[in-house]
Amino acid sequence: MKNRKIFISFFIIILVGTAAYFTYDYIFNRAEKVPYKEFYSEVESDNIKTAVFKENSIIFTKRNQPLDDSLFGGRAKKYQTENPSSPSLKEVLLKQNVEVTTEQNGTQIVSTIFDAFFYIFFFFLILTVFRKFISPNSFKVLHKTGVKFDDVVGMEKLKKDMVQVMEIMKNPAEYAKKGIRMPKGILLEGEPGNGKTLFAKALAGEAKVNFIPAKATDFESMFMAIGPMKVKLLFRKARLRSPCIVFIDEFDGIGTVRNYSGSAIETENTRIVTALLNELDGFEPTNGVLVIAATNSTKALDPALIRPGRFDAKLTVPYPDSNARKQLIKMYTREKNQSSECTTEVLDKMFEGFSCAKIESVLNRAALIANQNSKSEFVLDDVRRAISEL
Q: What CATH class does 149-316 carry?
A: alpha beta
Quote the CA–CA distance of 49 and 66 in Å, as a whole number.
13
Neighbours of 83 (CB within 10 A): 15
Please give the distance of CA 237 from its chain centroid, rounded to a whole number. 15
Neighbours of 347 (CB within 10 A): 24
Q: Are 142 and 212 in contact (CB under 8 A)?
A: yes
Quote the CA–CA distance of 128 and 118 in Å, as a whole number.
15
At the second CATH level, the architecture of 322-389 is Orthogonal Bundle (1.10)
- Which segment of 82-86, 221-225, 320-324 scores lowest on mean pLDDT? 221-225
Of the segments 20-29, 61-70, 206-215, which one has the largest average pLDDT value?
A: 206-215
- More confident position, 20 or 273: 273
Output the pLDDT for position 115. 74
Output the pLDDT for position 187. 85
Average pLDDT over residues 70-81: 69
**What is the value of pTM for the model shown?**
0.60
Question: Quick check: 71 pLDDT over 50?
Answer: no
| pLDDT > 90 in the chain, percent | 3
Average pLDDT over residues 52-61: 86
Q: To the nearest 10°, the Cα dihedral for 192, 194, 195, 199? A: -120
Question: Quick check: 283 pLDDT over 80?
Answer: no
Question: Quick check: 368 pLDDT over 80?
Answer: yes
- Which segment of 91-95, 156-160, 366-370, 384-388 scores lowest on mean pLDDT? 156-160
Cα distances from 339 to residues 331, 378, 379, 389, in angstroms, run: 16, 6, 5, 21
Question: 189 - beta bridge partners?
Answer: 295, 316
Quote the CA–CA distance of 77 and 370 in Å, as a whole number.
95
Hey, where are the domains in the chain? 2-106, 149-316, 322-389
Q: Are 245 and 212 in contact (CB under 8 A)?
A: yes
Q: To the nearest 10°, the Cα dihedral for 26, 29, 30, 34? A: -140
Among residues 295, 297, 354, which one has the least CA distance to residue 324? Answer: 354
Output the pLDDT for position 137. 60
Q: Tell me the pLDDT band of 27, cut-offs 50, 70 and 90.
A: low
Quote the CA–CA distance of 97 and 76 in Å, as a whole number.
18
Question: Quick check: 333 pLDDT over 70?
Answer: yes
3-state DSSP assignment of residue 55: coil
Question: Quick check: 110 pLDDT over 70?
Answer: no
- Which segment of 40-44, 77-81, 140-144, 180-184 scores lowest on mean pLDDT? 180-184
Among residues 209, 273, 278, 277, which one has the least CA distance to residue 241? Answer: 209
Output the pLDDT for position 364. 92
For the chain, give the mean pLDDT. Answer: 79
Q: What is the DSSP string of 129-158?
A: HHHHHS-TTSSPPBS-----GGGS-S-HHH
Which residues have CB under 8 Å from 300's CB, separation 6+? Answer: 252, 255, 256, 257
Q: What is the DSSP string of 206-233?
A: HHT-EEEEEEGGGG--SSTTHHHHHHHH
Output the pLDDT for position 336. 87
Domains 2-106 and 149-316 fall in the same CATH topology: no
Quote the CA–CA distance of 182 and 173 in Å, as a whole number.
10
> What are 369-387's pLDDT values in tens digits?
988 988 888 889 988 998 9
Among residues 202, 60, 100, which one has the least CA distance to residue 142? Answer: 202
Quick one: fold of 2-106?
Answer: 3.30.720
